[in-house]
């Protein structure tokens, strides 16, 4: 008999077993929401899957997810973000949006335009997502 203590190779350790299972089940047309701490993740995901990623920031989580999950090449804009309202625009958020843009484009191998969606439309679209990943960071 032989017993081994191992972990999967090449899997970013930030990805929980629960999230890995969700990613493995996704297919063409499925959407995944990466939400900040202020996003109503539980209520938005009440008809889908909620994965808590407490203690993790959105950018490293996105980087890890994109190592395993390719963007859908059959849609014109495979990634979208919630458009900030004029009343809550924070200039300090511009760098994180730029970092998301660079990461998504770099992973995709071509420039990807992030589609900006109005807040309430974003909430409605998020309700149809395959899963919502709630991170610790606050982007709003």
- Known catalytic residues are 28, 72, 123
Q: How far apart are CA 27 and CA 87, in angstroms?
A: 37
Structure token digits, residue 21: 């299972």
Lateral strand order in the sheet of 32-35? 32-35, 131-135, 49-53
d(CA 89, CA 83): 9
The structure tokens 């309430």 sit at 120
């Amino acid at each position: 008999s032989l017993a081994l203590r191992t972990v999967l190779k090449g899997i970013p350790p930030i990805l929980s077993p629960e999230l890995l299972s969700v990613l493995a089940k996704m297919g063409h047309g499925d959407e995944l929401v990466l939400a900040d701490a202020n996003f109503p993740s539980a209520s938005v995901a009440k008809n889908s899957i909620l994965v808590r990623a407490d203690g993790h920031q959105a950018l490293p989580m996105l980087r890890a997810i994109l190592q395993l999950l390719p963007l859908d090449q059959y849609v014109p804009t495979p990634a979208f973000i919630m458009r900030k309202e004029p009343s809550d625009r924070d200039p300090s958020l511009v760098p994180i949006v730029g970092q998301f843009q660079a990461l998504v484009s770099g992973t995709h191998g071509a420039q990807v335009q992030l589609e900006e969606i109005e807040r309430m439309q974003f909430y409605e679209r998020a309700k149809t997502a395959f899963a919502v990943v709630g991170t610790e960071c606050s982007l709003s």
